[in-house]
Every structure is written in C-alpha cells, then in structure tokens.
C-alpha cells in the first residue's frame, strides 16, 4: 500500500493562490485507507477551502486514482465542473496525482498529500514502511526481512557493528535490521545464508522512471521459446 499524509493547509493554500474555483479528486484505495483521500477527507477539505474563500465546484473519488483509464472514465463525472475550474486539488498519492495530470489539459493539478512510503497496515490508522521497490528483492535469503528498507544504512552484507541493545545506532527507536534477520534465519534454520558475500546492488534496476509492459514481456518470452 502507498502511504500518504495530508500536507499543511497553508501549503495547500499557497498552491491555490490565484485559483478561486477548485475541483477535488481523491482515491478510494490507498489514500482512503490512510484517511487522506476518501469521501470524508474530500468533504473536510471542501469545508476548509470554502472557509478560506475558495469555491469547490465538485468532488470525485476515483477507484483507483492510479489507473490511467479508470481515472479518465471517472473524471467525466465532473466534466462540466472542470470546464469552469481554475485548478484541481488531488487528495491521492503522488502516483494518483500524476495520473490526474495525464488526464487533464490546460489546468494545474496540485497535491494535497505527501507520499511517504510503500508499507503495511499494522492496525487501523497505523502504518509501517516495508518496501523501497528497489527492483532487486533480497527477501529470499534474509528470512523475509528487508535489509534495504529496515536497515538505516541499507547494508547487504551483514550488520555494521554499531547496534546497541538491539537498536540501530542511527535511530535508537528502531530495531537493528540485521539482528532481526539473524534471529529469523536462526528460527528457520537458514543461518548459512549469512556466510555468502552478496554482490553490490544493481542500481540500474532503480533507473527511474521504470515501467513494466506485461504484453511486451509475454511476447519477448514467446519469441525466446520459438
């Protein structure tokens, strides 16, 4: 899940300076779960903007906002409002905001949220970062604990030696990722995984922006078999 958090209202109003008429767009998946972009959040933002002199012409929650074609389809529901609007305020994640941009012309789209990380829902209203989408997953040999995300230094070949009482030397609130990896590998009888020296990360797999075309990939596989 993409975890997001609401921007300060003053920053949002700064974006909207010079824009009187606004359309609000949210996302019914990740942002709704984070309580940054569902129906209640759009309504609260509408009231807040109107209290600051803005006119909110319409609101639309897209499911999901990061689906290019779904976004295009759902935005038709506020087609007339968009003709009059000066700007769109996106209550989705950064991906959803950029998807809205691709589906609109000659109108600024501003973010109402900060996109924080890819994470898991620990419980309602509590989220923890779990993945940096590095493009070269290491979980297969670390017992399912990510050293890239969980280690503050992103170390691939074991602990730095600076941990104290099981806590990271950089952030004393965080557990040392490598102690957790060691304990997990011991638990599943795979401590031998720690004896291998791992090659440096292939950062070409993080060559942004990345893309994945499943149809093209399938065709390439079929050509290779032919």
Give a three-class secondary structure readout of the chain. Answer: CEEEEECCHHHHHHHCCCCCEEEEEEECCHHHHCCCCCHHHHHHHHHHHHHCCCEEEEEEEECCCCCHHHHHHHHHHHHHHHHHCCEEEEECCHHHHHHHHHCCCCCCEEECEEEEEEEEEEECCEEEEEECCCCCCCCCCCCCCCHHHHCCCCCCCCCCCCCECCECCCCCCCECHHHHHHHHHHHCCCHHHHHCCCCCCCHHHHCCCCCCCHHHHHHHHHHHHC
The predicted model scores a pTM of: 0.87
The yes-or-no verdict on residue 226 having pLDDT over 80 is no
Considering the chain, what is the average pLDDT of its residues? 95
Each residue of 81-130: pLDDT tens digit? 999 999 999 999 999 999 999 999 889 999 999 999 999 999 989 999 99
Q: How many CB atoms lie within 10 A of CB 69?
A: 9
Q: Map out the domains of the chain as residue ranges.
A: 2-117, 136-214
Which architecture, in CATH terms, is 2-117? Answer: 3-Layer(aba) Sandwich (3.40)
Structure tokens at 106: 């000659």
């Amino acid at each position: 899940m993409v975890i997001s958090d609401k921007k300060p209202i003053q920053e949002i109003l700064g974006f909207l300076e010079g824009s009187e008429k606004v359309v609000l767009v949210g996302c019914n998946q990740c942002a709704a779960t984070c309580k940054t972009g569902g129906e209640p959040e759009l309504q609260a933002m509408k009231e807040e903007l109107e209290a600051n002199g803005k006119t909110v012409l319409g609101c639309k929650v897209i499911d999901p906002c990061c689906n290019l074609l779904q976004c295009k389809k759902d935005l038709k529901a506020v087609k007339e409002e968009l003709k009059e609007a000066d700007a769109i305020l996106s209550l989705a994640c950064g991906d959803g905001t950029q998807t809205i941009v691709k589906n609109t012309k000659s109108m600024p789209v501003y973010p109402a949220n900060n996109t924080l990380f890819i994470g898991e829902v620990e419980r309602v209203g509590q989220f923890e970062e779990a993945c940096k989408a590095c493009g070269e997953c290491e979980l297969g040999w670390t017992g399912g604990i990510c050293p890239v995300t969980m280690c503050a230094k992103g170390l691939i070949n074991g602990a730095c030696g600076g941990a104290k009482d099981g806590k990271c030397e950089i952030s004393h609130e965080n557990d040392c990722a490598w102690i957790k990896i060691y304990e997990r590998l011991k638990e599943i009888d795979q401590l031998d995984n720690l004896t291998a020296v791992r090659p440096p990360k292939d950062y070409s797999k993080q060559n942004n922006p990345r893309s994945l075309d499943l149809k093209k990939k399938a065709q390439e596989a079929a050509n290779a078999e032919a």
